[in-house]
Amino acid sequence: MNAHQHRVGLSRRELLQAGYSGLLGLSLPTVLGGRAAAESAATSEAKPRAKSVVIVFLTGAASHHDTFDMKPDAPKEIRGDFQSIATSIPGYSICEHLPHLAARSSKYAVVRSLSHNDNNHLMSTHHVLTGEKQPGGFFDKVASRDDWPSYSSALAYLKPRHDGIPSGVNLPTYLREGPLTWPGQHAGFLGQNFDPWQITGDPNKPDFKVDALTLAPGMDVTHLGRRQSLLQEFNRQQSRLEEVAQSVRLQRDQHLAISMLTSSRLAQAFDLQREPDAVRDRYGRNETGQSLLLARRLVEAGVPIVQANIGRVQNWDSHGDIFPTLKGRLLPPLDLGVSALLDDLDSRGLLDETLVMMLGEFGRTPKINNTGGRDHWGPCFFGLFAGAGVQPGQVIGRSDAEGGYPVTRAYSPNDVGATVYHLLGIPAEVEVRDRLNRPVRLNRGDVIEPLFTGATV
């Protein structure tokens, strides 16, 4: 006797044996695991200025002395080897190895008085990428679900979307080294449902692809539609499973996956081969340049927050030989890539609604050490900000003669976080729930007002 056949052509037993992943035939990375919309999210009445945020994260911490806060009149052991070149901002010069950014100073503002009191990579990264200090932080405290949420995670929690576009994408590296996983990269206590996508892969490589947007061998979108019909049939007949929270979560992930896979808007964003060679060349044919180009394409596709990690976890951590490293490997691709990003967003009419911010987790010591490098320094560092109402062509804040401490108002990573949330239309006083279901204020900083008022400091 033949088993009863459903209209999609499989028996109930076959459906149960196949399971969710077999039915979909999709390759889904762990970044999708547990992602779901918040049922009782906080809401905001504030009007957002920024539709998107691009975080250019200088992981390992770039030296402010040798980039955007040079000290040409200081002694050699402080000013270093590089010369400064003029920008269009009167009296302001930056490093000679940033000529493209020097020529575009009318597109951005620089804050030279960012400051906090920590010199540890992990804790400082958490502070900068979440806008809050790491709960229970101690030296090299790794990421945990007690951490504060990243900006994109908080956005996903407070303003969930259901169109298959993630609220956040981190690329092209995951900040991890040996047993240490850097905090600030995920949703922390909000839970994995609100983690951003994590893309690991060099966009400059010819075979670059994102597994989450790749169909299993032999499948195409037409076949996927048939599989979706099968999925709906299966879900209709599994009412008992749907009573289980995990089942509901899996169902949402499946529909999100289908939405992504059938969305040409998102899938095409990852296909850098669609870009003209001339555009790819302007960004630079390297991991930094192509990551920033991909960030621009994701902004166009509607992704609200894209974090581009410029290098591995200690890429800018120049404890020795800092000058040949900056000159030969780090500054040229950054200069080219960020300049192209600003130009591109501007020419496409996207810069006015996209905040671009570039910073590391701290600065570097004023005095060059005996191995020709600079060590960790939290008391003073820089941030570059552009777009989304930022008044360009200005320098905010000033450090002392050695670049050790701010002599004007210091701005903390909490203030950076308040600025990001303000532009996204999230009020500073909004509360979220921690793992014990306690209400906690999302951010306790102040908006960096001179970025928008153009006031000189």
Give bridge partners of residue 215 from the DSSP assignment.
26
pLDDT at 3 (0 to 100): 42
Give the pLDDT band of residue 241 (cuts 50, 70, 90).
Answer: very low
Q: Where in the chain is the domain with CATH 3.40.720.10?
A: 42-209+285-453
| Average confidence (pLDDT) over 428-449 | 92
Burial environment of residue 65 by CB neighbours within 10 A (0 to 12, 13 to 18, 19 or more): buried
* pLDDT value at residue 242: 46
What is the bridge-based pairing of β-strands 52-57 and 354-359?
parallel
* pLDDT tops 70 at residue 137: yes
Res. 206: pLDDT tops 80: yes
> Do residues 169 and 5 touch, judged by C-beta distance below 8 A?
no
| Residue-level pLDDT at 265 | 76
Query: In the CATH scheme, what architecture does the domain 42-209+285-453 have?
Result: 3-Layer(aba) Sandwich (3.40)
Torsion 428-432-435-436 (CA) sign: positive
How sure is the predictor about 245, in pLDDT bands with cuts at 50, 70 and 90? very low
> Residue 33: is its pLDDT beyond 60?
no
- Residues of the chain with pLDDT > 70: what percent? 77
The residue with greater pLDDT, 52 or 428, is 52
Torsion of CA 101, 316, 68, 423, to 10 degrees: 80
CB atoms within 10 A of CB 180: 15
Q: What confidence category does residue 163 fall into, taking pLDDT thresholds of 50, 70 and 90?
A: confident
pLDDT of residue 23: 33
